[in-house]
Structure 1
Amino acid sequence: MATILYARVSTAEQTLDHQRTQAEAAGFRFDHVLSDHGVSGVSTRLAERPEGRRLFDLLRSGDTLVVRWINRLGRNYDDITETIREFMRRGVIIRTVISNLTFDGATKDPMQRAVRDALIAFMAASAQAEAEATKEAQRAGIEHAKANGEYRGRKPSFNRKQLATVQNLIGQSVSVIARESGLSRQTVYRIQSDPVAAAAALTTWESSPG
C-alpha cells in the first residue's frame, strides 16, 4: 500500500516544496510525489493533466492520496466530486494536510456516508466559488486599470537576464534551459513560443512607474 502526495502549482507564488514541507510537517511520509506545474484547476480536469493522468494509473486499493487541500485536485465542482468518488470506489483513501480530513469509500454507515458526501460537496463548491470570485476580482481590477490607462498586463515571471539566457540556449533541451535560467519549464515554453511578446512584456513593466 502506497502513500502518494499530489500537488498542483498554478502560479509563480506557489511551490511544490512548500506543499511537500507542509505535508511532512503534518506527519505524512510518501512513496511517490506527483505535481503539475502552471496548470489551472478551473479549466483543466485532473485526468487531463500530465501527472494527474499518472495519478489515475498509480492509485490502487489500499493506497492513500494526500493533498494539501481539495482545491489542489481542481477548482471545478463536478471534476472534484467525480474524481474523489472514483478514487473511493477504487478503495483509495484521500487525506488533506489542512484540517487533517479523511475520505474513505469503505464507510458503510449511511449517516457517516451522508456526512462525508456533504462535506465533499461543500468543499468542492467552495473551491469553485473561490476561483470564480478571484477571477471576477481580477477582471474588475483590470477594467479599472484600463479605464485609468494603468493596465500593463500580468507581470512577467522572468527578468531580462533570464530572458537572455533562454534566448542564448536555443537548441538545448527545455530541462537544461530551465535549470540554467532558474525558470520553470512552463515559463521556458511560454518564452520560446513567443519571444517577441515576452520581450515586449518586460519592456512594458520596466518603462512604467510602480
Structure 2
Amino acid sequence: MTNVYGYARVSSTDQHEDRQMRALLSYEVAEQNIYLDKQSGKDFDRPQYQKLLYQLRKGDLLYVMSIDRLGRNYEEIQQQWRILTKDIGIDVCVIDMPLLDTRYGKDLLGTFIADLVLQILSFTAQNERENIKKRQAQGIAAAKAKGVKFGRPPIPLPKEFRSIVSQWENKEMHISDVLALCHMSEATFYRKLKECRDSIN
C-alpha cells in the first residue's frame, strides 16, 4: 500500500507555512501525514524531517513544495535525494518543478534529466542561502555604521549603585539583596563593578 506524505519547512517560527500546507493538502496529503519544520535549511538535522524518514517505506510517495523547502545545502540535498529514492525506495514529487517527479520518466533519459534538474535547483537553493547571509551581514554592517545597536540594551545602573557597593563591601548588605536592588544577575553585577572601578582608575 502506498502511503502519501508531505514535507514543509519555514526558516523561522515567525514565517508562515500556509502556502505550502495548502499546496500539500490540495494533492490530497492527509494533514496528519504532513511534517513541518521551522528552522534553517542549512542541514537535515531537523526533528520533523528525521521523524518523516523513520516513517517512510518503499513505494511511498512524498510531496514537497519546492526543492529549497527540502533544504539549502547543495551536497546534502543530493545525498538526501539518493537516500529517499534509492535507499528507501520512495517516489518524490516537487510540486513547483514537474520534472522532479520520480513517478515518471524512470528510463535512462528521464533519470538523467531529473538528476540534472536536481543539481541545478540544489545549487540555486544553496546559492540563494549564501546570498541571504551576505545581504544580512551587509545590512548589519550598514546599520552599525549608522549607530544602530544590536543585542540587549545595557542595564542602567541604579543612582545609588556606589552606596550599595559600599554597603556590600562593608558587609552591611548580602549579595542577594544587592542583586535585587540592582535588578541584575551576579555576573552582570561583578562586570558593572569592574567597569566602574576601571573608569575611576
Q: What TM-score, normalized to structure 2?
A: 0.67
Partner of 2:78: 81
Please state how far the C-alpha of 1:98 moved relative to its aligned partner. Answer: 1.8
| Larger Rg belongs to | 2
1:139 aligned residue (128, 137, 160) = 137
Say how many residue pairs are matched.
149
Residues 155-210 of structure 1: CA distance to partner in whole angstroms, max 9, x if unpaired?
xxxxxxxxxxxxxxxxxxxxxxxxxxxxxxxxxxxxxxxxx9xxxxxxxxxxxxxx
Aligned residue runs from structure 1 range 2-13, under 5 A: 2-13=3-14
Which consecutive residues of structure 1, in runs of 5 or more, have no partner in the other structure? 155-195, 197-210
Q: Give, in angstroms, the shift of residue 14 of structure 1.
A: 2.5
Mapping 1:33-182, distance limit 5 Å: 33-37=34-38, 39-42=39-42, 45-46=43-44, 48-89=45-86, 90-104=88-102, 108-152=106-150
Q: Which residue identity does 1:74 align to in structure 2?
A: G
Identity %: 32
1:29: which partner in 2? 28
Deviations 1:96-120 (A, max 9, x none): 2224443328855222221111111
- CA spacing shift, 1:74–1:5, aligned 2, 3 Å: same
CA shift in 2, pair 1:79/1:60, >3 Å: same
Would you say the 8 A contact 1:91–1:104 is kept in 2? no
Shift of 1:8: 1.2
Q: Distance in 1 between matches of 2:100 and 2:114?
A: 9
TM-score, structure 1 normalization: 0.64
Return the alpha-carbon distance in structure 2 between the equivalents of residues 75 and 61 of structure 1. 25
The 2-side partners of 1:72 and 1:153 are apart by 29
Deviations 1:36-57 (A, max 9, x none): 12x1111xx22x2111111111
Which letter maps to 1:81?
A: Q
Asked whether the 8 Å contact 2:74–2:122 carries over to 1, the reply is: yes
Cα deviation for residue 13 of structure 1 reads 4.7
Deviation (angstroms), 1:151: 4.4
* Unaligned residue ranges in structure 2 (runs of 5+): 153-183, 185-201
2:16 counterpart residue number? 15
